[in-house]
Structure 1
Amino acid sequence: MNAERSATHTFHHASQLRAEHPRLAAGVLFAVGISADADVSGPVEHLTGIASSRLSAASESELPEVQAWRRAFSRMGLKPTQFRCASESLLRRLRKEGALPRIHPLIDLCNAASVAFATPVAVLDVSKITWPLEVRHASGDEQYTTFSGEIENPAPGEVIFADSAGRAHARRWTNRQSGYSAVNDATDSVLIVAEALHESALTDIQELTATLTNALNTIWAVVPATAILTHQQPRFDFSPAQHVTS
């Protein structure tokens, strides 16, 4: 067993960020045994159907989950119509095109859950992260890799997913993930993070986390380690060695 497998990893939100966003609730899942050959068409269809039903009654910008993220982006000095949280962007695409793009079974599942709950869901390849991973304000010298391979430096104060090597795995909080830790066909271990800021965030995050947990178990036959993170419980500690599948 190598050191990476035996180590305990930590994901958490910085105390300053939680003080600025007291309603922040996050559902976090760690899973081993993900493959790219799974069939997720059933749950994806079900979840996108829920989203389409919601969109038939209101536009994505009118949903309370999205409005809460728009307020947060405005507070961060970002124009909400220029920089949208991931769930709003997906909902917008679903409304315009009637479907979401198929990328990888796990990404497709999480994107479908994201639109169903109107909540950003990040999916990261655990092997690409130098732990711990913290959601915090950037100092400005961190490095972010775009999907085209270009290197950017987040603006000082911008909210990022930062690891201990100074790599940013997401920019503008829930706006865009890094290509560096994106899930691909060789990915086996993943960290899934869903974050919400609206009034019923905690209840909805609990339901979203349960939905993904059940789907992972049904589709990949894995039992993820999970946690609901709040102001009272801001950290998720997990050991990959304890969740290796046979």
Structure 2
Amino acid sequence: MSPSAPHPGTTLDDWLARAAVAPEITALRPDYRALLIVADGLRPGPSDEVSERLLAEAERVVTERYADGSYEDDPHVVAWHEAFRAAGMKPRRTRPSADALLRRVPAGLPRINRLTDLYNAVSIAHAVPVGGEDLDHYRGAPRLERAVGDEEFVTSAGGEPVVESPSPGEPVWRDDLGVTCRRWNWRQCTRTQLTLDTTRAFFVLDALGAMDDAALAAAGDALVEALTEASPGVRTATRLVAAA
């Protein structure tokens, strides 16, 4: 267990209270908010009947919603493209996560594991970037800031671990050991990724002004409901964090 993640005597709410969004994110996008959800008591494992049903239903909803037009016209997807460009990133080369998932719906999303499948279902159904991290591999409080450029980001290439650094100014989620997610919500590190053994997780739902607080809350509620169905008895805590 991470000494910095919730432990006996520390509640999920206490841990969430330490999360922060840096002031430089405010300067970049004053309308940014993060809905943070911590879950303890999850039942990990490979994709199963529950995760398949929820993800397949989300794919059906998305297919119907965008039948007469492109998902790229969705106001929240458009806003994320604008945010990426404002941060010096090319959104058609390194796409916001919800955009990247929605592009793959016609061919069917990959089934990864039951926890990842659940949050991917919420992401496409609500057109909101969602990330999930293994809480037991976190060190220190999560914070969103703009990178200096010397931080460590652990990923993989050809099945081998690779350590990269983000570009200076790139919005990154990080903990005390390094970057956990690059380019706001583009790619997560391997150190904290959800696995078949994850029982405690930290989820981030990224929103811009095109998604109001009610819609963001509905997406969060959908994720909590999915986690509860897949893991009866799971304990959750939620916190909305705005740019400081």
TM range (shorter): 0.7 to 0.9
**1:186-234 deviation line (CA, Å, top 9, x unaligned):** 1111001001113233221110001111111222011311122235xx6
Q: Which stretch of the first structure deviates more once superposed, 189-198 or 30-39?
A: 30-39
- Equivalent position to 1:144, from 138, 153, 174: 153
Q: Work out whether residues 125 and 182 of structure 1, in 8 Å CA contact, stay in contact via their aligned partners in 2.
A: yes
1:230 partner amino acid: A
Query: How far apart are the structure 2 equivalents of 1:132 and 1:158?
Result: 19
Q: Work out whether residues 126 and 190 of structure 1, in 8 Å CA contact, stay in contact via their aligned partners in 2.
A: yes
Aligned to 2:37: 29
Query: How far apart are the structure 2 equivalents of 1:94 and 1:11?
Result: 32
Aligned to 2:195: 184
Aligned to 1:103: 112
Unaligned stretches of 5+ residues in structure 1: 235-246
Q: Which runs of 4+ in 1 moved over 6 A?
A: none
Query: How far apart are the structure 2 equivalents of 1:116 and 1:100?
Result: 13
Unaligned stretches of 5+ residues in structure 2: none
Aligned to 2:28: 20
Paired residues for 1:169-180 under 5 Å: 169-180=180-191
**1:109-163 deviation line (CA, Å, top 9, x unaligned):** 1111111111110000011111111110011111001133111011111111111
Paired residues for 1:28-177 under 5 Å: 28-37=36-45, 39-95=50-106, 97=107, 99-148=108-157, 149-165=161-177, 167-177=178-188
Identity %: 28
TM-score (norm 1): 0.87
Q: Work out whether residues 64 and 198 of structure 1, in 8 Å CA contact, stay in contact via their aligned partners in 2.
A: no
Aligned residues: 229
Partner of 2:67, secondary structure, is: helix
Root mean square deviation, CA, Å: 1.8
TM-score (norm 2): 0.87
